[in-house]
A and B are shown apart, each in its own frame.
Chain A
Amino acid sequence: MTTTLSKPLQAAPSQGRRTRASSETLGAWTLMAPYLVLLLIAGVVPIGYAIKTSLERSPTPLDPSSGFGGLDSFRTVVTDFRFVDTFLNIGAVLVVWLPIMMLGIVGLALLIHASPGRFGASMRFVYFIPGALAGIANFVLWVYLLNPSQSPIEWIWGVLGVDTVKQAVATPGHLPFVLAAMMFFQGVGSWIVVVNGGLNSIADETLEAAAIDGANAWQLAWHIKLPIIRPWIGYAALMNLAYGFQLFLEPQLLDQVSSNALPDQWTPTQLGYAFAFSNYNFPAAAAMSLILLVITLGIGMLIVFRSGLFGDEER
C-alpha cells in the first residue's frame, strides 16, 4: 500500500531541482506515507464515496435500481419534516449551553490562575475528573443523577415537581437544559486546562507591572488577562460550537431510558443515523452527513485560519 501511494507523489516535484532537494522531497514523502494512506482510507475516500452515494437514487421496492439520482437525496433530506427541527433543537441547546460553558471555562480558569500553589492545582484536577468519564460513562452517571428516586440531587427534582426519569427529560423545554448540564459536567474541565495553559503563558513581569500600577485582582483579570487569552477563548467557543452539531449519544440514549418519550430524531446526526439504519436510505444518509460536514468544516477553517492560535510556529 505504501509503495502504490508514494510512487506518483514522488514524481510530482519538478525534475530540475538539485539532488539534495529531491532527496529531501523523497524522504519527506516516504515519512509521510503511512499517515497519507490513513488520511485516504479514513478521510478522503469516505468523503468521495459519500458524495457519489448522495448522487445516487435510493432503491425502493417498486424500483430496485439505484442509478444516478442527481440532487434528489439532498431534496429528500432538506424537505424531511424533521430536518429544520433538528437544527432548531441544536440551536436551543447551544443557546443554553454555550454561554454557561464559556462563562464556566473562563471564570474557573481565571479563579485557578489567581490561586497559585497547591490549592489551585488541586482544584484544576478536581474539575478535570469528570472529563475522564467521557461519553457513555458520563451518560450512565447522569441516568443516576436524573432518576429522582435515587438521585443525590433529588431535592432539585422535588422543587421541579419531577418524579421519574421520563418526566425529568421529556417535560417540554427540559431537554436543552438537561443536555447542557451533561455536556458542561463532562467538558468544562479539559477546557479549563487549555485556557489555563494560555493564562500561564502570560509573563510574570506583565502582571507585576500592573500590580505595581495599583491594579487589584479584579482589574488584573478584566484588563490584562482576558485580552491576552482572547485567542484561547475564541478557540474554545468555536470548538464547542462544532461539538454541538454532532450531538448524538445523549439524546439517543435519553430516549432509550425515558420509555421513548422523546422524539427519535432530535438532532441532525440522529436523523442521518435514522436514514442509514432505519430507512436504509444510504443516499439520504450520505447527503445528511455531507451537509453536517460542510457546516463543521466551515467552523474548523474558522478555527485554524482566524483564531490566531495556529500557524505561529510557522514563523
Chain B
Amino acid sequence: MNLGRLARVVTMLFVASFFVFPIIGFIAMAFRDADQVAAGQGGWLGLGGVSLDNVSHSWSQVNGFGPSGGLFVQWMQNSIIVSVGGALLAILAAIPAGYAMARLRFRFRRALLMITLITMVMPNTVLVIPLFLEVNAVNAIGELWPVVVIMGFFPFGVYLSYIHFMTSMPGELVEAARLDGLNEVSIFARIAVPISKQACVLVAFFAFVANWTNFFLPLALLSSNQQNKTVSIGLQELIGASPLFNPTVAAGLDVKLYMPQLALATVIGMLPLLAVFLGAQRYLIRGETVGAVKG
C-alpha cells in the first residue's frame, strides 16, 4: 500500500469515527441508568452501563408522561397518521402530475415544471407562518387533517415522478396507445401506472421521511393541542419537562426524564425511519442519481 492510499484510508476512517462514536454513545445512553450517567460511570461511551432493566425503567417514565400517561404513544400514532397520510396524498398527486409533465403537451406545462422545481429547492419552513394564518382562518388549528393535506403537497415527489416517466417510458408508447384509441387518462391508468412502482416507492420514502422529521409545521399548527402533537414536537416537550433543563416544571411531574429517558424516546421516535429505510433500500440504490433530498 503506497503512502497516498494509506493517507486516504486513514482520513476516511478518521472522519467516520466522528460520525459513528457519538451515535453509538447516544444509543447506549438509551440503555443506561440516570444516576450512573450523572456519576460519570459506565466506562467508554457508557457501554459498560447498559442493561435492559434500565430500558424498561426509562420506558415507564417516558410512557408515564402526560395527564394520564400514554401521551408518547399517542404522539407516535399522530406521527404515523400525518406521515403516512401525507405520503399517500403525495403519491396520488405526484404520479399523474409527473407523468403529464413528462409525456403530454399542454399550455403552461413548462411554467408548471419550473414552479415545481423552484418550490422543491426552497426550504419549506418559509411558508409555515402563511400556512398557519390560512389554517387559522378556517379554524382548524390543533387538528391533524390540515397537516396531512399540507404534507401532501410534495413537489420533490412530482420531480421524481417526472424524471421516472421521462427516462423509463418512451414517448412512442404513448403515441401507439393513442392510435389504439385509448384516451389520455386510460393511457395513464393502463400503461403508466403499472410501470410506476419504482417512482411510487421513492416518493413514498422521501415524503414519509420529510413528514416524520418535520418540526416547524407541526409546531405552528399542533402545539396548542397536546393530544394531537407529533413525536418531533413531543420530544421538545419532553426536553422542556426534564429536570436537567427545567427543574421547576420537572418538580411537578411524577416521571423523571433524564438523559437516558430522552435518548430512549428519541431512539424509539426514529425507529419508523429505520423501518422505511430498510424497506425502500433496494429502490433507493437504483434511484440514487435522481437527485437530492430536500433540506
Name which of B18-26, B51-59, B63-71, B194-202 contacts chain A.
B18-26
In the complex, the answer to whether B130 meets A50 with C-beta atoms within 8 Å is: yes
In the complex, the answer to whether B183 meets A31 with C-beta atoms within 8 Å is: no
The reply to whether the CB of B6 lies closer than 8 angstroms to some CB of chain A is no
In the complex, the answer to whether B184 meets A235 with C-beta atoms within 8 Å is: no
Contact of A239 with B214 at beta-carbon distance under 8 Å, contacts A27-B184, A46-B133, A144-B26 already known: no
The reply to whether the CB of B286 lies closer than 8 angstroms to some CB of chain A is no
B142 CB contacts on chain A under 8 angstroms: none
Name which of A171-179, A202-210, A248-256 contacts chain B.
A248-256
* Cβ contact of B235, chosen from A136, A185, A238, A273, cutoff 8 A: A136
In the complex, the answer to whether B45 meets A129 with C-beta atoms within 8 Å is: no
In the complex, the answer to whether A301 meets B118 with C-beta atoms within 8 Å is: yes
Contact of A249 with B277 at beta-carbon distance under 8 Å, contacts A127-B16, A136-B232 already known: no
In the complex, the answer to whether A194 meets B291 with C-beta atoms within 8 Å is: yes
Name which of A33-41, A92-100, A223-231 contacts chain B.
A33-41
Give the contacts of A37-66 with B (CB-CB under 8 A).
37-39, 41-43, 45-47, 49-50, 53
Q: What CA separation (Å) do A269 and B130 show in the bound complex?
A: 12
B130 CB contacts on chain A under 8 angstroms: 46-47, 49-50, 286, 289-290, 293
Sample of 8 more A-B contacts, CB < 8 Å, known A136-B269, A299-B121: A34-B96, A129-B20, A130-B19, A136-B213, A194-B293, A248-B216, A296-B122, A300-B119
B72 → chain A closest CB, angstroms: 14
Closest 3 CB pairs of A and B: A27-B184, A42-B153, A35-B97
Give the contacts of A104-151 with B (CB-CB under 8 A).
108, 111-112, 114-115, 119, 123, 126-127, 129-137, 140-141, 143-145, 147, 149-150
Give the contacts of B179-231 with A (CB-CB under 8 A).
183-185, 187-188, 209, 213-216, 220
The reply to whether the CB of A74 lies closer than 8 angstroms to some CB of chain B is no
A72 → chain B closest CB, angstroms: 17
* Cβ contact of B112, chosen from A20, A27, A32, A45, cutoff 8 A: A32
* Cβ contact of B106, chosen from A13, A45, A269, cutoff 8 A: A13
Q: Mask for B112-133, Cβ within 8 A of A = 1, else 0? A: 1111011101110111111111
Give the contacts of A141-198 with B (CB-CB under 8 A).
141, 143-145, 147, 149-150, 152-153, 165, 185, 187, 189-191, 193-194, 197
Q: What CA separation (Å) do A141 and B112 show in the bound complex?
A: 40
The reply to whether the CB of B292 lies closer than 8 angstroms to some CB of chain A is yes
In the complex, the answer to whether A25 meets B16 with C-beta atoms within 8 Å is: no
Q: Which residue of A lies closest to B110 (CB)?
A: A314
Give the contacts of B79-128 with A (CB-CB under 8 A).
89, 92-94, 96-97, 99-101, 104-107, 109-110, 112-115, 117-119, 121-123, 125-128
In the complex, the answer to whether A286 meets B104 with C-beta atoms within 8 Å is: no
In the complex, the answer to whether A140 meets B295 with C-beta atoms within 8 Å is: no
Interface size bracket, A side: 35 or more
In the complex, the answer to whether B23 meets A133 with C-beta atoms within 8 Å is: yes
B128 CB contacts on chain A under 8 angstroms: 289
Contact of A242 with B125 at beta-carbon distance under 8 Å, contacts A130-B19, A140-B266 already known: no
Interface pairs (7), CB distance under 8 Å: A36-B97, A50-B129, A134-B209, A190-B293, A245-B126, A246-B125, A282-B133
B8 CB contacts on chain A under 8 angstroms: 111, 114-115
Q: What CA separation (Å) do A25 and B100 show in the bound complex?
A: 10
| Interface residues in B, total, Cβ within 8 A | 102
The reply to whether the CB of A303 lies closer than 8 angstroms to some CB of chain B is yes
| B contact set with A: CB distance below 8 Å | 4, 8-9, 11-13, 15-16, 18-23, 25-26, 29, 37-38, 40, 45-46, 89, 92-94, 96-97, 99-101, 104-107, 109-110, 112-115, 117-119, 121-123, 125-134, 137, 149-150, 152-153, 158, 162-163, 166, 178, 183-185, 187-188, 209, 213-216, 220, 232-233, 235-236, 239-240, 244-246, 259, 262-263, 266, 269-270, 273-274, 277, 288-289, 291-293, 295
Contact of A43 with B117 at beta-carbon distance under 8 Å, contacts A31-B185, A38-B93, A129-B23 already known: no
Q: What CA separation (Å) do A269 and B214 show in the bound complex?
A: 15
Q: What CA separation (Å) do A133 and B235 show in the bound complex?
A: 13
The reply to whether the CB of A240 lies closer than 8 angstroms to some CB of chain B is yes
* Cβ contact of B295, chosen from A29, A114, A239, cutoff 8 A: A239
Q: What CA separation (Å) do A276 and B158 show in the bound complex?
A: 31
In the complex, the answer to whether B19 meets A127 with C-beta atoms within 8 Å is: yes
Q: Which residue of A lies closest to B44 (CB)?
A: A152
How many A-B contacts are there with CB distance less than 8 Å?
283
Q: What CA separation (Å) do A153 and B220 show in the bound complex?
A: 34
The DSSP consensus for interface residues of chain A is: helix
In the complex, the answer to whether B22 meets A246 with C-beta atoms within 8 Å is: no
Contact of A46 with B121 at beta-carbon distance under 8 Å, contacts A23-B184, A35-B96, A136-B232 already known: no
B29 → chain A closest CB, angstroms: 6
A20 CB contacts on chain B under 8 angstroms: 178
Q: What CA separation (Å) do A129 and B17 show in the bound complex?
A: 12
* Cβ contact of B96, chosen from A31, A189, A246, cutoff 8 A: A31
B117 CB contacts on chain A under 8 angstroms: 304, 310
Contact of A24 with B97 at beta-carbon distance under 8 Å, contacts A126-B16, A135-B215 already known: no
Q: What CA separation (Å) do A293 and B163 show in the bound complex?
A: 27
B209 CB contacts on chain A under 8 angstroms: 134
Contact of A31 with B26 at beta-carbon distance under 8 Å, contacts A140-B266, A304-B118 already known: no
Q: Mask for A213-228, Cβ within 8 A of B = 1, else 0? A: 0001110000000000
Q: Which residue of A lies closest to B262 (CB)?
A: A140
Q: What CA separation (Å) do A290 and B129 show in the bound complex?
A: 9
